Amino acid sequence: FQYGANNLLDLATAANVTTVQNYVSGLATPPGENATHMPGALAFADAILEEEGRGGKEIVILITDGGPNYQNGIVGDGVTPPADDTTFPYGTFAFTGGTTGGENGIAGEPGELAETTSTATGIKDAGRRIIAVGVGENVAGFDDYLADDIASTPDDFVAVAEAENLGSELQALITEVC
């Protein structure tokens, strides 16, 4: 999968971390676009592994600062909703358990939690491991949900209280996994 210029999916390296930080800081968040489309992220990761996987043990690491809340729509077709959608070469994914997007709460059953759990379950049923990483204070209310419903096992959930510790926590996690 070829990532384009200014694509925030590129991994930051020691050489470009300042450029990435400056680019992110310069972005203005449109109203209603500060949601967490967790099932979309999981579905994208799963599709990439399905098409580009190399066999062996496949792992999805989900990093989030909160629970799933998102706008309903088709993700991956490059049109709205959601407004920040981009065309995805491995298909599209329809999600109907969300709300209107933004910070307007999280729907339980049926809703955002159920739809996200279902997406994660499908990935795990396909033999892939999910490691969930919760960052910051906003995720604290979702620790049990991420550990029990999203991660492959409760031991596959990592809580990172301070965002500045994310790099060292991920390094330790990757070292342990590998």
Per DSSP, what are the bridge partners of residue 77?
87
User: Tokens 């449109």 map to which residue?
Assistant: 30
% of the chain with per-residue pLDDT over 70: 72
Neighbour-count burial of 159, counting CB atoms closer than 10 A to its CB (0-12 exposed, 13-18 middle, 19+ buried): middle
Taking the alpha carbons of 12, 95, 146, 144 in that order, is the dihedral positive or negative?
Answer: positive
pLDDT of the residue at 2:
42
Residues 6+ apart with CB under 8 A from 163: 65, 135, 136
- Element spanning 134, H or E: strand 129-135
Asked whether the predicted pLDDT for residue 120 surpasses 90, the reply is yes
Return the CA Rg of the chain: 16
CB 47 within 8 A of CB 88: yes
SS3 49: helix
Rounded distance, CA 64 to CA 67, Å? Answer: 8
Choice between 85 and 73, residue whose per-residue pLDDT is larger: 73
pLDDT of the residue at 15:
66
User: Tokens 């070469």 map to which residue?
Assistant: 89
For 143-160, what is the mean pLDDT?
Answer: 92
Asked whether the predicted pLDDT for residue 146 surpasses 70, the reply is yes
Pairing mode, if any, of strands 157-160 and 129-135? parallel
pLDDT of the residue at 123:
97
Read off the pLDDT of residues 51-78 as tens digits, 9 standing for 90 and up. Answer: 888 778 899 999 998 888 877 888 888 8
Choice between 109 and 21, residue whose per-residue pLDDT is larger: 21
- 88-92-95-101 Cα dihedral, nearest 10 degrees: 30
